[in-house]
Amino acid sequence: MGTSGRKATGASLDKMRDVGVTGSLARGGVSRRAVLVGLLMAGVAGCATSGSDVSNIDPLILQTYGPVQGEPFKIPAIPVAKVDPQYLRQTVPTPATVASQAPGTVVVDPANKFLYLVQADGRSLRYGIGVGKAGFAWAGEAEIHDKQHWPKWFPPAEMQARETFQKLYPDFAQKYPNGMDGSPKNPLGSRALYLWANNKDTLYRIHATSDWTSIGNAVSSGCIRMWNQDVMDLYDRVEVGTKVVVLQGPGYTPLEQITAPAVATAPGTPPAGTSTVAYAAPAVQ
């Protein structure tokens, strides 16, 4: 799979992405994270009445979560003045629960709604995530087996039969007999990372969401959701074969007992007897 092809505007996003949204203002000095997040928190406090004032938010944050260029579909900005700043992408000290993992490892903390990409020197790049209502359904180790841009969506018959689904997607089978192509209407969003364990598909995915309010909450049906801007950043940083560790969340099940999640995006045809909500066709090479 190639890179996202996004175009930076203003200051170089390449330098930004080397350190996430953060970095050091000076070696041994005050961390840029402290400054940026502090400014953002002040901005959020100042938006109590208007809800849209960004005058106190650092331009680097606004650029990071601004509209994305160079994609086949429009990706709007995240209204950062309305979100909890702890869920913004930022470099943080690696927490004790993650410290044993080698640099380059992805660690999902469903209880706290964070995803970490472990860096060197005791630091990690942290992203906010959304998870299922019961917490992430399994805990264990996996690896990124595949990566896809704008994956296709194939909701199975049992999901299509639900009243809530029919209200959201009337006549889905007739409109999309070969699955819903990647688009802003597709709930899988702009990117998907496919998690396998022991050479088997877990049917769990890290994927984008167009619902910016879901990050930091347990509202999705099962998979790990990220803002488009964040999952695209993570997608470009990790390779196929990257180790993924999912920490224990509320109501977790050991991975070996899992057959399928409430939401999945598995390449190809879903295994017989599984109860998947979504899976993606293989990427065209």
Question: Rounded mean pLDDT of 152-162?
Answer: 77
Contact in structure between 139 and 254 (CB atoms under 8 Å): yes
Alpha carbon 194 to chain centroid distance? 12
Instruction: Enter the tokens of residue 218.
Output: 């347990």
pLDDT score for 129: 96
238-275 tens-digit pLDDT: 999 999 999 986 656 555 555 444 443 434 434 333 33
* Residue 5 forms part of a structural domain: no
User: How would you classify the pairing of strands 131-132 and 106-109?
Assistant: unpaired
pLDDT bucket at 109, cuts 50 / 70 / 90: very high
* Residue 148 forms part of a structural domain: yes
Number of domains comprising the chain: 1
pLDDT score for 78: 96
pLDDT score for 275: 32
pTM value? 0.72
pLDDT score for 15: 38
* Residue 269 forms part of a structural domain: no
Q: Which helix (H) or strand (E) holds 159?
A: helix 157-160
Instruction: Tell me the residue ranges of DSSP E strands in the chain.
Output: 90-93, 106-109, 114-118, 123-128, 131-132, 138-149, 191-197, 200-209, 218-220, 224-227, 243-246, 253-254
Residue 42 has pLDDT above 50, yes or no: no
- CATH number of the domain within which 247 lies: 2.40.440.10
Instruction: Enter the tokens of residue 255.
Output: 């991975």
pLDDT score for 118: 98
* Residue 191 forms part of a structural domain: yes
* Residue 124 forms part of a structural domain: yes
Higher per-residue pLDDT: 207 or 276: 207
pLDDT score for 130: 93
pLDDT bucket at 176, cuts 50 / 70 / 90: very high
* Residue 31 forms part of a structural domain: no
* Residue 274 forms part of a structural domain: no
Residue 58 has pLDDT above 80, yes or no: yes
Structural domain containing residue 164: 86-257
Residue 69 has pLDDT above 70, yes or no: yes
User: How would you classify the pairing of strands 131-132 and 218-220?
Assistant: parallel
d(CA 235, CA 191): 7
